[in-house]
Amino acid sequence: MNVDTMRRIDHLLGVPLCLLATPLVKLLAWLGRGRDRRPRKVLFVELSEMGSAIIVDPAMRKMQAQGAELFFVIFAKNAPSLRLLNTVPEENVFLIREDGLLPLALSTLRFFWWTRKQGIDTVIDLELFSRYSALLTGLSGALNRVGYHAFHNEGLYRGEMLSHRVAYNPHIHMAKNFIALVNAVLSERAELPYSKSLIGDEEIRLARYDASEEELQAMRARLREDYPDYDPAQHRLVLINPNASELLIQRRWMPERYVALMQRILAEHPDVLVLITGAPAEREEAAGLKAQVGEVRCINFAGRVKFNELPALYSIASLMVTNDSGPGHFSAVTALATFVLFGPETPRLYGSLGNSTPIYAGLACSPCVSASNHRKTPCQDNVCLQAISVEQVYETILPTLAL
């Protein structure tokens, strides 16, 4: 299903289902009163954003440090993002199919059986006011059900699914918002709202992926298949990720500007190879960009790297320029200097936790997507990205290129 269809279903079916489910959830909570509330088997719910599966890692590790066993539920197509850091064991990940209404319904029923079989006692809903994730949380059978509650905000009704209602804070990074959810379930006293805690920057540092020498050599060999003269002692790699997910296509900087940027990098730095990266489905589009660049040192590398091989690629590259999308977060598990172009969203909330520099025009209308509009903007003219020039991006990356 496409994103807009899923949003319509979430609204048209989600609101009445949350209303109907609320009395049942309250009854189950009443029947479970007096039970031990200590979190032992903790399930995180993050369905639609691959980048969020990286941003939440510090929160999961904090929960793990308390002795909890971790579980995760995610849409099947986004599951590879969990494997970069492997914080959650593969056998503890439940995949929801979203390729049709019937597969979605059957996966949901299986999920309710699975949570009870696993003995899940705590569910932490990471989604920003999704009714579907609220239903998964409320009907999971868990005693502790943690998530963001609308309180006095209009239009964000999700029923009464939660035992721990956390105030979503749009003024702090999402990694800290996620830790606030963990702090809520760890709190020794009831709070309204949760979570009345101070979260320091040191709490949102990511674990690093150290690629082995074997992985690095394999990636260099892969590159030589496309550019036989590649010599790591003579060439530096610049990665360009010109795509963004279909969830918010307004995040894409203009292709012609990527072409101009690549041409300038190659013209002024003869030791640089530019690799256009992307998923296999983006290979044809990348081929078109390569043809426009018109330089042999520009390589179409889209679809040439499996997801679990990305850290090796990032480890041998000098820098990456990317739209605000998954790769900006995936590279954060390495030391790669990453430059992320922001428009409809803000780096204050969704900036990478790695060695990252945001490039952001900061127009009066930006950011135009938020929790309150379910991250759907009416904008069809992303001036926020058009305002970012090729010269600005080049000047921002030049100090790294000059090293």
Q: What is the pLDDT of residues 27-59, one digit of tens each?
A: 888 887 777 789 999 999 999 888 888 999 999
Number of domains in the chain: 2
Contacts 24+ apart (CB under 8 A), 219-228: 219/305, 219/309, 219/312, 219/313, 219/315, 219/316, 220/316, 222/304, 222/305, 223/273, 223/275, 223/299, 223/301, 226/299, 226/300, 226/301, 226/304, 227/273, 227/297, 227/299
Is pLDDT above 90 for 337?
yes
Under 8 Å between Cβ of 114 and 142: no
SS3 breakdown of the chain: % helix, strand, coil, rounded to 5?
Answer: 45, 15, 40
- Same domain, residue pair 24 and 170: yes
Give the model's confidence band at 372: pLDDT under 50 very low, under 70 low, under 90 confident, else very high: confident
Under 8 Å between Cβ of 37 and 143: yes
Is pLDDT above 70 for 161?
yes
- Same domain, residue pair 221 and 350: yes
Give the model's confidence band at 344: pLDDT under 50 very low, under 70 low, under 90 confident, else very high: confident
- Same domain, residue pair 183 and 239: no
Higher pLDDT, 156 or 134: 134
Arithmetic mean of pLDDT, 266-270: 97
**Helices 174-186 & 57-65, crossing angle to 10 degrees?**
20
Is pLDDT above 70 for 247?
no
CA distance 20 to 288: 51
Residue type, 153: N
User: Considering 182, 204, 226, which residue would you say is the last residue of a domain?
Assistant: 204
Average pLDDT over the chain reads 92
Under 8 Å between Cβ of 238 and 317: yes
- The 8-class DSSP code of residue 143 comes to S
Strands 236-241 and 164-166: unpaired
- The 8-class DSSP code of residue 334 comes to S
Give the model's confidence band at 246: pLDDT under 50 very low, under 70 low, under 90 confident, else very high: low
CA distance 19 to 14: 9
User: Considering 183, 204, 225, which residue would you say is the last residue of a domain?
Assistant: 204
H and E: helices and strands count for the chain: 15, 12
pLDDT of residue 248: 67
Arithmetic mean of pLDDT, 290-316: 96
pLDDT of residue 173: 95
> What sign for the dihedral angle of Cα 368, 372, 377, 379?
negative
- Same domain, residue pair 167 and 245: no
- Same domain, residue pair 236 and 368: yes
Token pair of 393, please? Answer: 């991006």
Q: Which domain holds residue 361?
A: 213-401
Give the model's confidence band at 249: pLDDT under 50 very low, under 70 low, under 90 confident, else very high: confident
Strands 298-300 and 272-276: parallel
374: domain CATH number is: 3.40.50.2000
- Same domain, residue pair 52 and 181: yes
- Same domain, residue pair 281 and 382: yes
Arithmetic mean of pLDDT, 149-153: 89
Q: CB within 8 A of 253, min separation 6: which ones?
A: 242, 323, 341, 343, 385, 388
Q: What is the pLDDT of residues 90-148, one digit of tens each?
A: 999 999 998 888 999 999 999 999 999 999 999 999 998 899 999 999 999 999 999 99
